[in-house]
Every structure is written in C-alpha cells, then in structure tokens.
Amino acid sequence: MAEENTRLWLMFPARLITRPIVWELAMKFPVVTNVRQASVNEEVGLVSLSLTGERDAIKASIAWLEELGVKVEPVEINTIEG
C-alpha cells in the first residue's frame, strides 16, 4: 500500500493539554508525525501536524485522536461554508 501524507490541525481541550498525545500517537500507530506549528493556553491547545503513513494507519490515528476528545480538522480547518 502506498504511503500518503495528511496535513491536520489538532485542537486539544484543556484536560488533554498536558498529555504527550503526539508521542503516544507515534508509538501506537505506524505513522510519521511532524509538528509544524503549535500554541497552547490554559483553555485550548492547537497543533499543526503532518502525518505520513499508509491510509489505514492514518485513518486509525485520526479515529484514536477523536476518541480521546481531540478535534481533528483538515489543514484548511473549515472547508464547508454557509
């Protein structure tokens, strides 16, 4: 299966801000993580992340992040407008 690259914005709720989620993700799934930008305050954490791997691994990574409560958006953040 060919490797794919996906560009995402992750938005962490306050309760997950201190958890090393990007490290956990790389340990749990066969994907390469590459952080390009990040900012954190007491209410929300934002991380722009490039994920490289097989399609199924990327999909499983996203599903795991969402299950934890991380909001996962495409690089555009929002493609659907009014």
Partner 1 sequence: MDRNFFSNLKCRECGKLYAKKAIHVCDFDFGPLEAVYDYAAIRGVLTRQLIESRPQSMWRYRELLPIDGAPTVGTQVGFTPLVKADRLAKALGLRELYVKNDTVNYPTLSFKDRVVSVALSRALELGFEVVACASTGNLANSVAANAASAGLKSYVLIPADLEQGKVLGSLVYGANVIAIHGAYDQVNRLCSEIAGKYGWGFVNVNLRPYYAEGSKTMGFEIAEQLGWRLPRHTIIPMASGSLLTKIHKAYKEFIDLGLVDKAPFSVHGAQATGCAPITHALKRGTDMVKPVAKPQTIAKSLAIGTPADGYYAIHSMNQTGGTAEDCTDEEIVEGIRLLAECEGIFAETAGGVTVACAKKLVAAGHIPADESAVLCITGNGLKTQEAMLNQCGAPRTINPSLREFEDRIYQPDQSAVAH
- Two tokens, residue 58: 């990327």
Q: For Cα atoms 2, 30, 48, give the angle at the middle one, nearest 5 degrees.
A: 90
Residue 81 Cβ vs partner 1, minimum distance, rounded to whole Å: 5
User: Is residue 43 within the footprint of partner 1 (CB under 8 A)?
Assistant: yes
- CA 57 to each of CA 3, 42, 52: distance values in angstroms, whole numbers, following the listed order: 10, 31, 9
Residue 56 Cβ vs partner 1, minimum distance, rounded to whole Å: 14
- Two tokens, residue 25: 């993700």
Report the residue from 11, 16, 22, 60 that binds partner 1 according to the rule CB under 8 A.
11
User: Is residue 37 within the footprint of partner 1 (CB under 8 A)?
Assistant: yes
For 23, the 3-state DSSP assignment is helix
Nearer to partner 1, 1 or 27 (CB): 1
How far is Cα 75 from Cα 7, in angstroms, rounded to an integer? 5
Residue 54 Cβ vs partner 1, minimum distance, rounded to whole Å: 15
Report the residue from 1, 15, 20, 78 that binds partner 1 according to the rule CB under 8 A.
78
